[in-house]
Chains A and B, each alone.
Chain A
Amino acid sequence: MNEALIASILSITIRAGTSLLYATLGEIYTERAGVLNLGVEGIMMVSAATAFAVAYHSGSAWLGLMAALAAGALLALLHAFLAVTMRADQVVSGLALTLFGTGLASFMGQRLGPGGTTMVGLQGPSFQRTPLPLLGDLPVVGRSLFQQDILTYGLYLLVPLLWFYLYRTQPGLHLRAVGESPQTADAMGVNVIGTRYLYTVFGGVLMGLGGAHLSLGYLQGWAENITGGRGWIAIALVIFATWDPLRAVVGALLFGGINAIQFRMQAAGTTIPASFLNMMPYFFTILVLVIITWWEAVRKRVGAPAALGLPYMREEKG
């Protein structure tokens, strides 16, 4: 393998992992507050459609991005309302969000092109890759890490920030307390309901970012079923990452890498049928889940926030 090839594979790995990492970080923060949001796939799908539609009609990728964040926040707010206030079953509420989002995004994709036609195949504004000065000129590292688009660069700042906030700040401590033991958090004077709303919506914003990167950065266009299960893989990565933003990077790179290998093999004209190559991410998701679950069981460690998925009923304690 030569240097150019390695750099190219690494570069695709990071590009493909970007939307996955945003979504995973969003779900980590949501689950840390004790709310299970299985609507990631639906939120990403609607955000991707919204981002492209707004960017296309306004001519600005930035406006598209803003709209996608709003869409992500709005859908997550709906989930928060059902899960936190109405105490609905969180598994079913998340599934409902994904089913609804998939339908809505498909509808948007077929209606929001010019004059009420399809968006498939349209070209619109997007986030182009811009090499960073100096850093972008480095061999291998420069070509892979520092010749990306602005949304990927955003992650280089966001990941350490989210880690620091979660483990080293007072609000981060409160967030973890709400997910681990809402009764204790309540006694400490933390507003449990408010915290859960806040981080579910914040998580939705990050998932929206992930969706926007698909249609404005990675694929630069709209396609039916654009997420292809990335939302679900993100939920699996949360378990892989043991709810830690730093570890999520490893998971996102792993799956970005699988995408890159798929890409390379297809380009090299492999004899393996495309259908089997396309199975790889899903197959590896199961494999990774099995290994991590078995490993955590052997080490007798419980990774999930203790109150994950349980509604908080203040009037029923004691």
Chain B
Amino acid sequence: MILIFEKRLTRSRRAALLVPILSFVLALAFGGLILIAFGINPLRAYRVMVQGSLGSRYALTETLVKAIPLMLTGLGVAIAFRMLFWNIGAEGQLAMGGIAAAYVALFLSDRLPAFLVLPLMFLLALLAGALWGLIPALLKAYIGVNEILTTLMMNYIAILLVEYLYLGPWRDPEGYGFPGTAPFPESAWLPRLTGRVHAGLLFALLAALLLWFILNRTRWGYEIRVIGENPRAARYTGISIARNILLVMLLSGGLAGIAGMAEVAGIARRLYHGLTVGYGYTAIIVAWLANLNPWGVLLVGFLMGALLVGGDQLQIAMQLPAAVALILQGAILFFVLGGSIFVNYRIRLIRETHEPSQPVTQ
């Protein structure tokens, strides 16, 4: 008996739908085994996670709070991945957005009319994230430098820059040694909708709409999709890959920058170490699980937000490391990756004969 992968003539829609759902279930089982290995009852842990993240109105709003940066960075990552530009740098682009927004709030807000503060924070954060994303894009487009490594290295640099600012020149002089800047003035607070859920949620919804429109209704979106699906064909049809890399990374970095602005202006209302907690990395999982689809990113972003809040609840209720959430996220991605073969291939068991049956090829 041997296993044979036969290429399907068309992608299986049933498999495309079933694989993520089954992956989620299997990842929970896999995560459960790890929890058991550490002497923890997985059913109890999962119940705490679900109740803490979805079980009440408060829990739901907290899940949305975490979902907002995941949605924004997830959208940014998804559009870059669409054209096979591996932007692993959303974390750093988010940090730069946070710095730019904090600069406006701390040093310009008292000289500006109050209604201009938030728009300027938004604009500068978008710009900062976009420019931080542009650097690796330029290096890739004109020299061919591996963007996975450059975007990643720039995360470390941006995070250290944030650290330098809130520990050094921007540190709150009246903060009694608190590692952070002074609180922002009220004109720099992003309005809240309910609970701690802030207007960043609207940014995320608008961004998804914008990306959907670009991808499906514009020539630019068409070029992005062609490059992603068949770079060689793109080159033959005269699509400039370099130009598209630059434009897409401006957009991708800009979205992450907005996420940074929303975090500092909507939640912390100051710049401190809690800005970079890994949203930009989880965004990779969000984008991939969503199949790089903008609406999918919103949905998966919400679910991953729930997972993160659930992790925090584990820490509070059961004194377990919140890292359980990260383990589960990674595990889900493993199963989705492993399962994606069933979308394009069908598996057949055949008896070994001297004359192997001809596999179907296109």
Contact = CB atoms under 8 A, between A and B. Distances in A.
Contacts of B325: 103
Contact of A99 (B144, B160, B320, B329): B329
Contacts of B331: 100
Interface stretch (B147-155, B203-211, B234-242): B147-155
Interface string B178-194: 00000000000000000
B86 interface: yes
B330 A107 contact: no
Interface string A99-115: 11111101100110000
Interface stretch (A138-146, A252-260, A287-295): A287-295
Contact of A275 (B88, B161, B327, B337): B161
A316 B329 contact: no
Contact of B341 (A86, A235, A278, A293): A86
Interface of A is mostly: helix
Contact of A82 (B139, B284, B337): B337
Contacts of A86: 337-338, 340-341
A229 B38 CA distance: 27
A276 B86 contact: no
A91 B156 CA distance: 20
B82 to A, nearest CB: 13
A315 B5 contact: yes
A99 B282 CA distance: 8
A99 B323 CA distance: 11
A91 B86 contact: yes
A239 B146 contact: yes
A194 interface: no
A286 B150 contact: yes
Contact of B160 (A102, A232, A275, A285): A275
A111 B321 contact: yes
B359 A88 contact: no
B128 interface: no
Given A38-B148, A111-B321, A315-B5, A273 B168 contact: yes
B361 A315 contact: yes
Interface of B: 4-7, 34, 38-39, 86, 88, 139, 143-146, 148-150, 152-154, 156-157, 160-161, 163-164, 167-168, 281-282, 284-285, 288, 320-321, 323-327, 329-331, 333-334, 337-338, 340-341, 359, 361
25 contacts: A86-B337, A86-B340, A87-B341, A89-B340, A96-B285, A99-B329, A99-B330, A100-B326, A100-B329, A100-B334, A101-B330, A102-B326, A107-B324, A116-B39, A229-B156, A235-B148, A239-B146, A273-B164, A276-B164, A279-B161, A283-B157, A289-B149, A289-B150, A293-B143, A315-B359
Given A286-B153, A293-B144, 19 more contacts: A78-B334, A82-B334, A88-B340, A92-B333, A99-B284, A102-B326, A104-B327, A104-B330, A107-B321, A107-B323, A111-B38, A229-B152, A229-B153, A232-B152, A273-B164, A279-B160, A285-B149, A297-B143, A315-B359
